[in-house]
Amino acid sequence: MINTECQDERHQKGHMHLPNSPLWAHHLTVSYDKRKIIQELSVQIPHNSFTVIIGPNACGKSTLLRALSGLLKPELGHIVLDGKALAASKSKEIARKLGLLPQSAIAPEGITAADLVARGRYPHQSLFRQWSETDEQIVANAMEATGTRELSHRLVEELSGGQRQRVWVAMALAQQTPLLLLDEPTTYLDIAHQIELMELFAELNKQGNTLVAVLHDLNHAARYATHLIAMKDGHIVAQGRPGDIVTEQLVEEVFDLPCKIIEDPVTKTPLIVPIGKRNSQ
Ligand SMILES: Nc1ncnc2c1ncn2[C@@H]1O[C@H](COP(=O)(O)OP(=O)(O)OP(=O)(O)O)[C@@H](O)[C@H]1O
Ligand SMILES: [Mg+2]
């Protein structure tokens, strides 16, 4: 831990950060037109973590992810990716370090699943480095890992919601970036595919990748996250290990939802059981 004195000093210099944090933001303010969605938010993604962001609809999760990935320019504050100011980095350079799966990704019309996944390799191409066998293999592996190989020749627009989502995840994986930002990657997926993907992410994390995912399923978040960030109204309300921060009070505060917390019988992590109005006396 950084001691307070040192933290204050770094704060003044605007360099307060966790050692080795591959992505951090300092005093970030992000607005759409004049409306401030995020105000003076500072966050550090721990190195080699599986960070999960939770919070109610419209609290600013996607906005934060877009800002952290360089898609959205913050009004104030700065973001540092891999030790370099994001604002001073070229987009191809960013794309080689950080992959983003947006919440509502739209595929170009008439594109097949395999071609979409292959687009994940674009940041690695150049005049001197054309499409290679390695790229082919990486695309095949990403499709294998997400169970989308048999969809290779299908048009993306003709896939089911869950199939399409898995193709997008494959594209994000094909980028092979050390950092992966995933906005609701398990939306549309049935329970088995959700668990399969969460385990794939946990495995990628174990192999040394840093992942940041926005999730609505609190139980998946508590089970798989190594670092959990709870947001509300554009602010971070709590962050830390799920076992340390997930309490009935926190869920009530963040989601305005009375609940009971029990131990997940499989993983011993917190399991959130909503009470609901009909069941409360
Ligand atoms: N492109 C945009 N232009 C204007 N306002 C926007 C835009 N995108 C999002 N907003 C607004 O910013 C606020 C935060 O939106 P954001 O998408 O970050 O929420 P979120 O936490 O990701 O929610 P959800 O869980 O529903 O995905 C909302 O009030 C939303 O209406
Ligand atoms: Mg969102």
Q: How far is it, in rounded angstroms, from Cα 28 to Cα 22?
A: 17
Task: Please indicate, yes or no, whether the overall pTM of this predicted structure exceeds 0.75.
Answer: yes
Q: Write the pLDDT tens digit of every residue in 183-217.
A: 999 999 999 999 999 999 999 999 999 999 999 99
User: Which bound ligand lies closest to the C-alpha atom of 58?
Assistant: 1
Short-list 110, 181, 185, CA closest to 145 = 185
Q: Which atom of ligand 1 is nearest to the CA of 32?
A: 4
Dihedral-angle region of residue 8 (phi above 0 means left; psi in -120 to 50 means alpha; beta otherwise): alpha
Q: How far is it, in rounded angstroms, from Cα 232 to Cα 229?
A: 10
Per DSSP, 155 falls in state B
- The protein residue whose alpha carbon is closest to atom 9 in ligand 1 is 63
pLDDT of residue 2: 40
Q: Which atom of ligand 1 is nearest to the CA of 33?
A: 4
Domains of the chain (ranges; CATH) run 4-246 (3.40.50.300)
Q: Write the pLDDT tens digit of every residue in 144-163.
A: 999 999 999 999 999 999 99
Short-list 144, 133, 147, 45, CA closest to 97 = 45
- The protein residue whose alpha carbon is closest to atom 7 in ligand 1 is 32
Q: How far is it, in rounded angstroms, from Cα 219 to Cα 186?
A: 13
Q: How far is it, in rounded angstroms, from Cα 251 to Cα 239?
A: 13
Ligand 1: residue of 61, 183, 187, 188 to mutate (most ligand atoms within 8 A of CB) is: 61
pLDDT of residue 129: 76
3-state secondary structure 198-215: HHHHHHHHHCCCEEEEEC
- Coil, strand, or helix at residue 12? helix
> Average pLDDT for residues 246-265, to the nearest whole number?
97
Dihedral-angle region of residue 30 (phi above 0 means left; psi in -120 to 50 means alpha; beta otherwise): beta
Q: How far is it, in rounded angstroms, from Cα 235 to Cα 55?
A: 10
Residue 71: how many other CB atoms lie within 10 Å:
15
- The protein residue whose alpha carbon is closest to atom 20 in ligand 1 is 58
Q: Which atom of ligand 1 is nearest to the CA of 59?
A: 21
- The protein residue whose alpha carbon is closest to atom 16 in ligand 1 is 60
